């Protein structure tokens, strides 16, 4: 609507007045030139903004600091002392990486990133980041992954890490002894909170973390109003699609509890981020366009005086028109080059710096190295209301590391510096380290009583304790009440899907007096597909602004109800955003001292396949919760075709070490898995999370078999569902195994074998091949390491022993899933599955095509019996044809 004001066809109530304004502009342009005209227009726009006229913000402003010198606040710290602290940290960060690489060539580590970001972090540590003891609960800081050395060096000075610990940087095999290469809560659970080093995931996770803090607040679960989320990011990292994916959500939800700090050193790994343009300007446009508050910190204080004398606007124009690639060249080329090539070409600019020596010119710093400018930016960011803020800080990669590294294209990879360079570095940092010790790159600690250490420790104490720090102080949650799942033991009388069963479990959980408030349903625009839309009205959809309109279905019971205290996170079509949301909820027991139970329900194909890296991050972050892959199965979801039919995410899920993956067939199995999961994660505090697949095929849900220990067996992954039928002798035996929706085909195959071929089959349900494999691997390892003891038997082999005939396993997944346990079973174990691309057709046709239907299972059993000599081979061959299978038909993998 704002843009309409500029349209010509809008009526003009005073054309003469309008023409006067246009004439004035023309006059300035003709007589005083472009710079003056631009200056005036910017002034007018600024004034318009101040007076709230409602003109949209420019997406790009001039290439100068957003906060001008007269707007800078009083700096409350001791700038000189804080510089000395920075120097100590810089030194130790470098020493740690050098020592590691001297002792263990190739162990790696980064010097240049932290060197460029030291001031960005230190302003935060000394003046802004609130620790866990802060009454508001403390800030949540996402550290740039490869800046970790500097964070360790600070912890060393504070006395949180010993020199020995620093000497174990990147050597973590002995638990508790090493320091992770990057932030990994899995490996340093008392230190790091947020895994960040997979670029792009940090910015997205930080946005959803800030949003989740608001969710907790608005639902009355925890007061998070005193907390701020800080995300430190690289300018190269911003090219990841995930980095920008959440920007509009952050603005829409008014997340003024969120600050991004982007370290714009203009470089990534290989070279310049935007050599032919300006990354800061590009990012400003993106963020401002998305509705963020943008603060640019481009120039250090030395430039203030020059800009104040820029009466013709030539300096600003030069700043605007110089490319990042050129700025990099100025950084490495020294003062006289800058005089000639930056100031020199324009005589007015050249005159402006006549009073400065070449050395002075080389010391005209970038803003990200000016502590006061950063302080002003962070303060403004913290005080800004109504939108998130991004601080775009221009820095030099490798700053202080010397000419061999600073702003060089190789800076990112630099892991070594010569003794000579180290000497220069030491002198620059003014540290009392003897020449003869330089070769060993010793750590330097001035002592706990030194002024520096006392100052930094005192600052942290005043701000609520050390940072980073991960603590778990959430209360355990109660087990679900019996009413949550009692109904599922009886099975169903009408055909229903496991998705419908799950919806029922979720509803019961939401009503559970002890757990209900802690349940977080997360759904990316698919609730209706899964039959979960009744939740919209029942518990409401979370909306920061509540519901400011009357929904079209307001007269219906199942209305689309948004509310500020809504419980469902209806994320819209963003699996990446939903995973970030899941991560925030799943780690809430640690990051917000409030255990929450997220159920993230999604189209299974678009889960692990699309956002597998985020699942890995959840595992790293020790997240706890349930990922529910609905519409699972290559043939069970039948009409949607190749891009939808998921027959492989159980393989992908099995690559995450702490995931428990389940493929339940019946309501009672699903109920047992969910109950065990809640007790395991929120009662006993195990750092695992779940992947559970759900189907949309309606069938009669079997009643729970009698017998003690059935739930335990379900959780372990395998149990006998049906005995072999009593048949007339002589009887041949086989064993059939299935999971998920294909268990029904296995049960049908049992009848087929008995009725048509006189073969007696037992049926086993295997809700988790992955858990069976985990148990077998652990058992095998024990046996390998204890050759003198009688071997233990893996659970899968115990249940499916050597006797009982060949074993045929069938699922709606790739054969790799049942094959996970093949190694521990007799040689005649064979699997059937859905390898190959899916396609659309009827379920029956698809299951015949992939050979996982009852006839195919029965035929396979007969074939295996024939190979073993207990069934006539010619009869088996005939049976295959009788069962409607073309033995020479096309293999689905060849299509
Ligand atoms: C998803 C992903 N891809 C690649 C990398 C490897 N990597 C680590 S740092 C880096 C360059 C980072 O550049 P930038 O974001 O500008 O950070 P800087 O070090 O310059 O602050 C790359 C490519 C990674 N960590 N994650
Ligand atoms: Mg960079």
pLDDT, tens only, 749-801: 999 999 999 999 999 999 999 999 999 999 999 999 999 999 999 999 999 98
Q: Quote the ligand 1 centre to 149 CA distance (angstroms).
A: 15
Tens of pLDDT, residue by residue over 708-739, are 899 999 999 999 999 999 998 778 999 999 99
Q: What is the pLDDT of residue 12?
A: 87
Q: What is the pLDDT of residue 303?
A: 97
**pLDDT of 8 over the 70 cut:** no
Cα separation, 252 vs 386, whole angstroms: 9
**pLDDT of 287 over the 80 cut:** yes
Cα separation, 363 vs 860, whole angstroms: 79
Q: What is the pLDDT of residue 1?
A: 34
Q: Is 2 exposed, middle or buried (0-12, 13-18, 19+ CB in 10 A)?
A: exposed
> What phi and psi, each to the nearest 5 degrees, are found at residue 631?
45, 45
Cα separation, 668 vs 57, whole angstroms: 57
- For ligand 1, residues with CB inside 6 Å are 113, 146, 197-200, 234-237, 263, 265, 267-269, 273, 397, 412
Q: Is 218 exposed, middle or buried (0-12, 13-18, 19+ CB in 10 A)?
A: middle
Q: What is the CA radius of gyration of the chain?
A: 33
Beta pairing partners, 390? 260, 294
Question: What is the number of the ligand closest to the CA of 145?
Answer: 1
> What phi and psi, each to the nearest 5 degrees, are found at residue 562?
-100, 145
Cα separation, 161 vs 41, whole angstroms: 55
Helix axes 201-218, 608-620, angle to 10 degrees: 70
Sign of torsion over alpha carbons 210, 215, 217, 222: negative
Rounded percentage of the chain residues whose pLDDT exceeds 90? 90
At 242, which helix (H) or strand (E)?
Answer: helix 241-245
Q: Quote the ligand 2 centre to 246 CA distance (angstroms).
A: 20
From the CA of 233, give the closest atom in ligand 1: 15
From the CA of 268, give the closest atom in ligand 1: 13
pLDDT category, 7, cuts 50, 70, 90?
low
Angle value at C-alpha 671, between 667 and 672, nearest 5 degrees: 120
Residue nearest to atom 13 of ligand 1 (CA): 268
From the CA of 197, give the closest atom in ligand 1: 25
Average pLDDT of 433-437? 95
Q: What is the pLDDT of residue 590?
A: 97
C-alpha neighbours within 13 Å on the C-beta side of residue 550: 3
Q: Quote the ligand 2 centre to 397 CA distance (angstroms).
A: 7
Tens of pLDDT, residue by residue over 470-503, are 999 999 999 999 999 999 999 999 999 999 999 9
CB 270 within 8 A of CB 240: no
pLDDT category, 275, cuts 50, 70, 90?
very high
- Mean predicted lDDT score pLDDT of the chain: 95
Tens of pLDDT, residue by residue over 85-98, are 999 999 999 999 99
Average pLDDT of 585-596? 98
Q: Quote the ligand 2 centre to 428 CA distance (angstroms).
A: 23
Question: Best of 114, 184, 199 to mutate for ligand 1, by most ligand atoms within 8 A of CB?
Answer: 199
pLDDT category, 57, cuts 50, 70, 90?
confident
Give ion ligand 2 contacts, CB < 5 A: 234-236, 265, 267
Average pLDDT of 122-135? 98
Residue 468: asked if its preceding bond is cis (omega within 30°), the reply is yes
Tens of pLDDT, residue by residue over 330-356, are 999 999 999 999 999 999 999 999 999
Question: What is the number of the ligand closest to the CA of 266?
Answer: 2
pLDDT category, 810, cuts 50, 70, 90?
very high
Q: Quote the ligand 1 centre to 497 CA distance (angstroms).
A: 45
Question: Best of 412, 611, 616, 617 to mutate for ligand 1, by most ligand atoms within 8 A of CB?
Answer: 412
Q: Quote the ligand 2 centre to 281 CA distance (angstroms).
A: 15
Tens of pLDDT, residue by residue over 195-213, are 999 999 999 999 999 999 9
**pLDDT of 53 over the 80 cut:** yes
Angle value at C-alpha 790, between 786 and 792, nearest 5 degrees: 85
Question: Best of 268, 396, 401, 613 to mutate for ligand 1, by most ligand atoms within 8 A of CB?
Answer: 268
Q: Quote the ligand 2 centre to 306 CA distance (angstroms).
A: 27
Residue nearest to atom 21 of ligand 1 (CA): 234
Kindly report whether the global pTM for this prediction surpasses the value 0.85. yes
Average pLDDT of 227-242? 98
Specify the higher pLDDT residue, 352 or 54: 352
Residue nearest to atom 17 of ligand 1 (CA): 234
CB 626 within 8 A of CB 692: yes
């Amino acid at each position: 609507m704002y843009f309409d004001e500029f349209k010509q066809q809008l009526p003009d109530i005073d054309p003469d007045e309008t023409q006067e304004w246009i004439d004035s502009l023309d006059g300035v342009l003709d007589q005083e030139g472009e710079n003056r005209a631009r200056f005036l227009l910017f002034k007018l726009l600024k004034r318009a903004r101040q007076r709230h006229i409602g003109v949209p913000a420019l997406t790009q402003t001039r290439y100068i600091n957003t906060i001008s010198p007269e707007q800078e606040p009083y700096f409350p710290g001791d700038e000189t002392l804080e510089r000395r602290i920075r120097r100590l940290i810089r030194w130790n960060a470098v020493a740690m990486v050098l020592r590691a690489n001297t002792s263990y060539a190739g162990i790696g580590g980064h010097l240049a990133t932290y060197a460029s970001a030291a001031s960005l972090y230190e302003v935060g540590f000394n003046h802004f980041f609130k620790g866990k003891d802060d009454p508001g609960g403390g800030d949540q800081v996402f550290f740039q992954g490869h800046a970790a050395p500097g964070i360790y060096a600070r912890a060393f000075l504070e006395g949180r890490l010993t020199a020995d610990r620093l000497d174990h940087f990147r050597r973590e095999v002995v638990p508790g002894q090493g320091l992770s290469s990057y932030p990994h809560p899995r490996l340093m659970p008392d230190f790091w909170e947020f895994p960040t080093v997979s670029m792009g995931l940090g910015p997205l996770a930080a946005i959803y973390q800030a949003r989740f803090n608001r969710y907790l607040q608005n639902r009355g679960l925890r007061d998070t109003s005193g907390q701020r989320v800080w995300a430190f990011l690289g300018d190269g990292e911003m090219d990841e699609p995930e980095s920008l994916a959440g920007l509009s959500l952050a603005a829409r939800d008014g997340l003024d509890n969120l600050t991004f700090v982007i370290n714009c050193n203009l470089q990534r790994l290989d070279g310049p981020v935007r050599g032919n343009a300006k990354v800061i300007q590009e990012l400003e446009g993106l963020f401002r366009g998305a509705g963020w508050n943008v603060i640019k910190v481009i120039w250090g204080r030395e430039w203030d005086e020059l800009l104040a004398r820029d009466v013709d606007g030539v300096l600003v124009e030069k700043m605007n028109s110089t490319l990042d690639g050129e700025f990099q060249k100025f950084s490495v080329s020294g003062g006289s080059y800058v005089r000639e090539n930056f100031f020199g070409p324009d005589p007015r600019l050249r005159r402006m710096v006549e009073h400065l020596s070449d050395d002075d010119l080389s010391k005209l710093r970038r803003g990200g190295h000016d502590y006061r400018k950063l302080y002003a930016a962070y303060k403004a960011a913290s005080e800004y209301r109504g939108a998130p803020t991004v601080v775009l800080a221009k820095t030099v990669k490798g700053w202080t590391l010397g000419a061999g590294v600073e702003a060089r294209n190789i800076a990112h990879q630099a892991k070594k510096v010569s003794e000579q360079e180290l000497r220069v570095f030491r002198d620059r940092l003014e540290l009392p380290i003897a020449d003869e010790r330089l070769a060993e790159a010793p750590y330097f600690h001035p002592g706990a009583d030194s002024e520096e250490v006392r100052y930094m420790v005192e600052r942290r104490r005043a701000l609520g304790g050390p940072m980073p720090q991960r603590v778990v102080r959430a209360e355990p949650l109660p087990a679900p009440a019996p009413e949550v799942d009692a109904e599922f033991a009886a099975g169903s009388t009408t055909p229903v899907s496991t998705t419908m069963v799950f919806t029922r479990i979720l509803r019961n959980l939401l009503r559970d007096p002890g757990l209900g408030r802690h349940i977080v349903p997360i759904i990316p625009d698919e609730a209706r597909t899964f039959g979960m839309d009744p939740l919209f009205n029942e518990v409401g959809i979370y909306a920061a602004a509540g519901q400011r309109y009357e929904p079209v279905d307001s007269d219906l019971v199942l209305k689309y109800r948004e509310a500020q205290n809504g419980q469902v996170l209806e994320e819209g079509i963003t699996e990446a955003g939903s995973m970030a949301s899941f991560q925030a909820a799943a780690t809430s027991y640690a990051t917000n001292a409030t255990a929450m139970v997220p159920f993230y329900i999604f189209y299974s194909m678009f889960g692990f396949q699309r956002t597998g890296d985020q699942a890995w991050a959840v595992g790293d972050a020790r997240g706890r919760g349930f990922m529910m892959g609905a519409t699972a199965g290559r043939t069970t979801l039948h009409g949607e075709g190749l891009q939808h039919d998921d027959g492989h995410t159980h393989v992908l899920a099995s690559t995450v070490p702490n995931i428990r993956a389940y493929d339940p067939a019946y309501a009672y199995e699903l109920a047992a898995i969910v109950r065990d999961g809640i007790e395991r994660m929120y009662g006993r505090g195990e750092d695992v999370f779940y992947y559970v697949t759900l189907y949309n095929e309606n069938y009669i849900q079997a009643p729970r078999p009698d017998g003690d220990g059935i739930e335990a067996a379900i959780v372990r992954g395998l149990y006998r569902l049906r005995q072999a039928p009593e048949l007339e002798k002589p009887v041949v035996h086989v064993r059939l195994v299935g999971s998920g929706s294909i268990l029904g085909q296995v049960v049908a195959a049992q009848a087929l074998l008995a009725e048509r071929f006189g073969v007696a089959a037992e049926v086993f349900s295997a809700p988790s091949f992955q858990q069976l494999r985990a148990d077998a691997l652990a058992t095998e390892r024990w046996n390998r390491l204890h050759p003198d003891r009688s071997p233990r038997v893996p659970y899968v082999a115990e249940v499916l022993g050597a006797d009982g005939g060949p074993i045929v396993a069938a699922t709606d997944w790739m054969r790799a899933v049942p094959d996970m346990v093949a190694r521990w079973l007799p040689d005649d174990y064979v699997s059937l599955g859905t390898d190959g691309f899916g396609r659309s057709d009827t379920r029956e046709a698809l299951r015949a095509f992939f050979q996982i239907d009852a006839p195919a299972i029965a035929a396979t059993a007969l074939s295996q019996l024939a190979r073993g000599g207990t069934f006539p081979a010619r009869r088996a061959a005939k049976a295959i044809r009788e069962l409607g299978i073309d033995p020479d038909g096309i293999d689905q993998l060849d299509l």
